[in-house]
């Protein structure tokens, strides 16, 4: 039996998404073509855009379909930078952001001369509103996660958005780890902001909510000053050229609607399951601790520090026992390096190599938790012996 505890990396395709994708593949036609087949594809594409927009609390015209969260983040940061005021050079960048954000910002520094204004996290992985606000004056743009993808801590995005609006700075919100798990309402977070400042862009990804890999979206406010990074057509308000993935859009929308319908009940179930998992680990294995906020976190996220046990060794031993987890972001999990998020919490490099992220999802059960708690003590003991 395989126990899958890596839902934050990707979660199983929902049946609603599979059905929507298969139905859409029967349509023959480019959504930009004017003949009947093209217009049928266009109709399904725009209906899918409207359905997804409803789940995100935005207008359908504000939804720009992309290939996933990484592209959405790159489009947001590089697109906002390209339309910045000439006198502004700084990018406000919290230390615990996803590598897609960190590397896009680093590219702006190395190729465009951007100055990165780093914002340190607190000990629970939260972006302190005061520190964030103090970094905003004169900045070209800012970015922040709603939910930290590694330790699961939920940030006060409403306060960060308001601070950005007050400072006259456009803000991008990374909602990839948040969407489907905690409330994400673009219009509510934007508040009364009408100019192209405050929250103007928000990234999401399909495969995190049971859609297929290869489809995502960037919500772009009507008033946002943002330049396209892919050229070749006028699709999607001219913000992202190319033939649009109608089947992917239909599957993403179906997954988002189904996920949102059960989000509240799943949050209750997964929170209870996570608490049992964490209590079982901390109660049976010495020198362990839960990282991130103990309560104000994504319902299914449990990021645990196992002192003096290498995370990659634990992954190998658990995988042999049929249990799949992660040491952190899936984008970096293939590389044995310390977690930058854990180090941003104030831990040293050795500790940052000693963490595992267990993430629960729609298919997770009590039996999965039981299997983990049965296999983990021996794995930790063996990993600690090997690291001494």
pTM for this predicted structure = 0.96
Average pLDDT over residues 132-150: 97
Question: Is 58 designated active site?
Answer: no
Question: Is the separation of the CB atoms in 9 and 326 below 8 Å?
Answer: yes
| Res 144 pLDDT > 80 | yes
pLDDT, mean of residues 91-114: 97
Q: 177 lies in a domain?
A: no
Catalytic residue among 61, 116, 129, 331: 331
Query: Is residue 278 in some structural domain?
Result: yes
Query: Looking at the 3D structure of the chain, how many domains does it have?
Result: 1
pLDDT digits (tens, 9 = 90+) for 155-179: 999 999 999 999 999 999 999 999 9
Whether 333 has a pLDDT exceeding 80, the answer reads: no
pLDDT of the residue at 119: 98
Which tokens is 72 given?
Answer: 């959405």
Residue at 220 is within a domain: no
65 assigned to some structural domain: no
Read off the pLDDT of each residue in 113-128 and give the average, rounded to a whole number: 97
Q: What is the pLDDT of residue 170?
A: 97
Tokens describing residue 204: 């999401």
pLDDT of residue 87: 77
- Asked if residue 373 is part of any domain, the answer here is yes
Domain that holds residue 269: 3-10+263-387
Q: Give, in order, the Cα–Cα distances in Å from 48 to each of 248, 296, 300.
A: 9, 32, 27
Whether residue 32 lies inside any domain: the answer is no
Is the residue at 315 inside a domain? Answer: yes
Over residues 269-286, the mean pLDDT reads: 98
Distance (Å, whole) CA 115 – CA 27:
47
CATH number of the structural domain spanning residue 302: 3.90.1150.10
DSSP assignment string, 84-104: S-TT--EEEEETT--HHHHHH
How many CA atoms lie less than 13 Å away from 295 in the CB half-sphere? Answer: 0
Q: Is position 335 within any domain?
A: yes
Rounded to the nearest integer, the mean pLDDT of the chain is 95
Tokens of 275: 């608490």
Q: Which residues pair with 219 in a beta bridge?
A: 63, 202
């Amino acid at each position: 039996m395989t126990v899958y505890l890596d839902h934050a990396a990707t979660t199983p395709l929902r049946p609603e998404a599979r059905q929507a994708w298969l139905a859409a593949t029967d349509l023959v036609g480019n959504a930009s073509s004017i003949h009947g087949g093209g217009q049928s594809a266009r109709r399904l594409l725009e209906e899918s855009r409207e359905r997804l927009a409803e789940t995100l609390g935005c207008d359908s015209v504000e939804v720009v379909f992309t290939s996933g969260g990484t592209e959405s983040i790159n489009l947001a940061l590089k697109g906002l930078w390209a339309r910045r005021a000439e006198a502004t050079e700084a990018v406000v960048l919290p230390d615990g952001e996803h590598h897609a954000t960190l590397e896009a910002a680093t590219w702006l520094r190395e190729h465009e001369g951007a100055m990165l204004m780093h914002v340190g996290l607190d000990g629970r992985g939260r972006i302190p509103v005061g520190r964030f606000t103090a970094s905003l004056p004169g900045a070209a743009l800012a970015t922040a996660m709603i939910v930290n993808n590694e330790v699961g801590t939920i940030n006060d995005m409403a306060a960060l958005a308001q601070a950005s609006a007050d400072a006259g700075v456009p803000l991008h919100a990374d909602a990839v780890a948040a969407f489907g798990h905690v409330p994400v309402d673009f219009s509510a977070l934007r508040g009364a902001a009408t100019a192209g400042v405050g929250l103007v862009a928000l990234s999401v990804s399909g495969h995190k909510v049971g859609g297929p890999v290869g489809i995502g979206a960037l919500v772009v406010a009507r008033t946002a000053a943002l330049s396209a990074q892919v050229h070749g057509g006028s699709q999607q308000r001219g913000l992202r050229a190319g033939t649009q993935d109608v089947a992917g859009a239909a599957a993403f929308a179906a997954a988002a609607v189904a996920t949102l319908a059960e989000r509240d009940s799943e949050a209750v179930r997964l929170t209870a399951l996570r608490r049992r998992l964490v209590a079982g680990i901390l109660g049976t294995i010495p020198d362990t601790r839960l990282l991130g906020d103990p309560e104000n976190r994504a319902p299914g996220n449990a990021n645990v520090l196992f002192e003096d046990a290498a995370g990659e060794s634990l992954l190998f031993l658990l995988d042999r026992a049929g249990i799949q987890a992660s040491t952190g972001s899936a984008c970096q999990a293939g590389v044995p390096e310390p977690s930058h998020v854990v180090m941003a919490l104030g831990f040293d490099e050795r500790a940052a190599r000693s963490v595992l992220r267990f993430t629960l999802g729609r298919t997770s059960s009590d039996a999965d938790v039981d299997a983990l708690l049965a296999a983990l003590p021996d794995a930790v003991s063996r990993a600690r012996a090997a690291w001494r």
